[in-house]
Structure 1
Amino acid sequence: MLRWLTAGESHGPALVGMIDGVPAGLKLQSKDFEAELHRRRQGAGRGARQAFEKDRLEILGGIRHGVTTGAPIALLIHNSEWPKWTDVMSADPVDPQALKIDAGTGDEREIARNRPLTRPRPGHADLPGAIKYQQQDARNILERASARETAARVALGTVAKAILEQSCGIKLVSHLRSLGAVTSQAAEPIPADAPALDASPVRCLDPQTEAEMLAHLDELKKAGDTCGGVVETLAYGVPIGLGSHVQHDRRLDAAIAAEIMSIQAVKAVEIGDGMEAARRPGSQAQDEIVRDADGNWQRVSNHAGGIEGGISNGQPIVVRAAVKPISTVPKALRSIDWATGEESRANHQRSDVCAAVPAAVICESVLALVLAGFLLERAGGDTISQIKANLERLNAGDDRA
């Protein structure tokens, strides 16, 4: 069983990620994690924070000399901005005077980051979280609710990607189907397109669409507004048999939908044709089965997105996620200050224009974590070599595979 958890706050000293159930013999190095974390920080629409925040990763256990040992892997992602937040985010009580500065005129002014946040931002966890956990300062909610947490998921997803690729050659790739009002007509990418997609500021292979997306981002930035987008992630080489139809919690598509939906700002998930399938007649919505010239079974389409009845069917798995616009809008939305009860404007310090580009990399990692868990359940084994051998036996045991 593959289990994972993250911990830490956006402006805390570090994020922590731990993953248990990783087989021994997996080849992993610090540079593998660093490369994925770098991908997450890239893309158009990001704010100034990405320029000065760095992800310094430290492996605390589970890997020795570049090879996994079978023990839990523990990862620490240091926050390079922590020195600016040591008093504000201190775990221990601090002197109230430490949260103030002398402005040079004899008066004391609180540093902006030190002030209690009492004007909740619409679209964030600020208000419902503060009510649920009985907090007077929204920072106690937003620091954990922040999408900064996804850096830990991307690090853990690096482990999952290694499991998938080194055990049976599964590879993932992601791109933007749309950014705000601009929709891409580019074909579904394949793993070989990954370098070109990483090089594109909007993860799009069509130059015309890329230019339109960038122009749209410029317009929104000037207007003090934000936008979302639709991310598509594909997994190639997934074998038949991951997941099951027998119980709700064993269905592969259900698990994928739940985990992708758990990513901050994701408001909808589609697998395969998704919503579009509901508008088609049944004769045009299924994936017919035929034999090729060599007599092997094959599909003539992939409307189901690689999953039928909760089970992978051997086709590429196709998952789309709708990422809502950034909720921290520069023009500041209407809110209520719960300290005074008066109408106000929501808290705003800084904001991205769009987070859809990094969301694509995050979706890759989360999908990899789901698939790796189901693959280990299907194949078993404590080492990569055992898993590979078990998968070979499973595939050899059924000529329909």
Structure 2
Amino acid sequence: MRYVTAGESHGPEEIAVIEGIPAGLHISQEDVNEQLARRQRGYGRGERQKIETDTVTFLTGVRHQTTLGSPITLNVHNDDHNNWSKIMAPNEPATAENTLRKVLRPRPGHADLVGGMKYRHREDLRNVLERSSARETTMRVAVGAVAKKLLSEIGVDVHGFVVNVGPAKSDLNELTKYKNLQELRVVTEGFDTRALNAEADEAIKEVIDKTKRDANTVGGQVQVIATGMPVGLGSYVSADTKLDAKIANAIVGINAFKGVQFGGGFDNAEKYGDQVMDEIFWDEERGFYRGSDNLGGFEGGMTTGEAIVVRGVVKPIPTLYRPMQSVDIDTHEDHRASIERSDTTAVTAAAVIAEAMVAIELAKAVLDKFDADNIERMKEQVAVYREEIRKF
């Protein structure tokens, strides 16, 4: 399985093409739209979300709500393009009129300046920010929706939630209350902040409100949990086959993500071995299993069968309504950075995006190991493999 996305933030369309999805997978536009709507929701989002109503169209690869095995093309229309059609016009030369929104004062922390240097966009840094914008993650969530649908066919569930926004934190001890991810999903999706309880929800809202009043932005952390993965996906034989490494790459590849950990992560660096290693047990019904999950479901780059637990660190958004020091790329004079319409925080949406990226990497791993031509054949192979592992 592989995919590519295309589209600019204020261009007419966002597009993704997915290859390698088996034939026979039932998928509807509603399955994808549900995930796109989740991405748009969340406390601290900006005015753009009031303009857009993200809905997907399948252009290729799906017939009668069933995948064909051929490349799947997904399309989401940018409603805001109506306000930017001249500025983003592909078939008209640059004029004084259609370059009114020229960007010459790069934002600290954004791709503006380095992207302009790399691609020689001296005339207008908008050529950088239109693609580096997090609007592109719309299509990664759409691809993730397809991946989640595939994973659900073999009993794998994936869910993301917010750990903290600034100093306001969810109590992770709350996780022990839930028997499965569906119970957790009902709770966290019931809060605008995707927090674990009402107390954390209110505290996070207070932080976001204060941040907005201060014309500032704020970051945080999100966590993704996946259950039901077969044992032994990924490999130890080469660095590039380790599944946890692939997931780490996918998480840090999300706009504004600056760190990733698995299980106990960085806290494990302050502990001793007998406090961290997940002891091994066996019973006739389950086969081998672990008594804890401090390593986040991975050993040697391979899935252990325990829950996969991934956390990502999200930096504050670089666009500040009280802009920071910058330099005009034309005059080289000091100026305040450009201001673009933005969110106060993207952490609430980032939980959905991280969930999608984990699902994509898990789906790739499943399709690398099992038959990728037909969904029913794939399910049969997974069932046989699970039984083999249980009897080991």
Instruction: Measure, in 2, the Cα distance between the counterparts of 1:182 and 1:144.
Output: 31
1:226 aligns with 2:217: yes
Contact 1:241 1:378 in 2 (8 A): no
Q: Which amino acid aligns with 2:73?
A: A
- Tell me what 1:179 maps to: 165
Q: How does 1:353-368 map to 2 (within 5 A)?
A: 353-368=344-359
Tell me how many residue pairs correspond in the alignment.
386
Distance in 2 between the 1:319 and 1:236 partners? Answer: 12
Which residue does 2:181 correspond to in 1?
191
Unaligned stretches of 5+ in structure 2? none
Q: How does 1:129-148 map to 2 (within 5 A)?
A: 129-136=115-122, 137-148=124-135
Distance in 1 separating the partners of 2:94 and 2:129: 23
Provide the C-alpha distance between the structure 2 equivalents of 1:163 and 1:277, rounded to a whole number of angstroms.
Answer: 33
| Offset at residue 114 of structure 1 (A) | 2.5
Q: How does 1:319-338 map to 2 (within 5 A)?
A: 319-338=310-329
Name the structure 2 match of 1:383: 374
- Match of 1:109? none
Question: Displacement of 1:350 after TM fit?
Answer: 2.1
CA contact (8 A) 2:187 2:197 kept: no
Q: What are the within-5 Å matches in structure 2 for residues 219-298 of structure 1?
A: 219-292=210-283, 296-298=287-289
- Amino acid aligned to 1:57: V
1:117 aligned to which of 94, 99, 103: 103
Instruction: Tell me the equivalent position of 1:150.
Output: 137
Q: CA RMSD in A?
A: 1.5
Distance apart, 1:292 and its partner CA: 4.7
1:392 is matched with which residue: 365, 383, 391?
A: 383
Q: What is residue 348 of structure 1 aligned with on the other side?
A: 339
Question: TM-score, normalising length from structure 2?
Answer: 0.95
What letter matches 2:259 in structure 1?
A
Q: Mean alpha-carbon deviation: is it higher for 185-194 or for 328-337?
A: 185-194
Q: 1-side partners of 2:88 and 2:310: how far apart?
A: 37
**SS of structure 2 residue aligned to 1:96:** coil
Greater Cα offset, 268-277 or 376-385: 376-385
By how many angstroms is 1:380 displaced? 2.1
Summarize deviations over 1:310-332 as a string: whole Å, max 9, x none. Answer: 00000010000000011101110
Are residues 221 and 95 of structure 1, via their aligned partners in 2, closer, same or farther at CA, if it must alter by over 3 Å? Answer: closer
Structure 1 moving runs of 4+ over 3 Å: 291-296, 398-401
Shift of 1:295: 7.5
Which residue among 287, 295, 301 is the counterpart of 1:310? 301
Q: Does structure 2 retain, via aligned residues, the 8 Å contact 1:23–1:381?
A: yes
- Write out per-residue CA displacement over residues 26-55 of structure 1, whole angstroms, 9 at most, x where no aligned residue: 010111111110000000011111111221
Higher-Rg structure is: 1
SS at match of 1:74: strand
Are residue 60 (structure 1) and residue 59 (structure 2) matched? yes
Conserved 8 A contact 2:287-2:389: no
> Within 5 A, what are the aligned runs for 1:103-114?
114=100
Distance in 1 of aligned mates of 2:338 and 2:132: 15
Partner of residue 160 from structure 1, selected from 132, 147, 150 = 147
Q: What's the TM-score, normalizing by structure 1?
A: 0.93
Q: Which amino acid in the other structure matches residue 191 of structure 1?
A: L
Task: Give a deviation string over 1:226-282, Cα, whole Å, max 9, x none.
Answer: 101100000010110110000111100100000111000000000111111111000
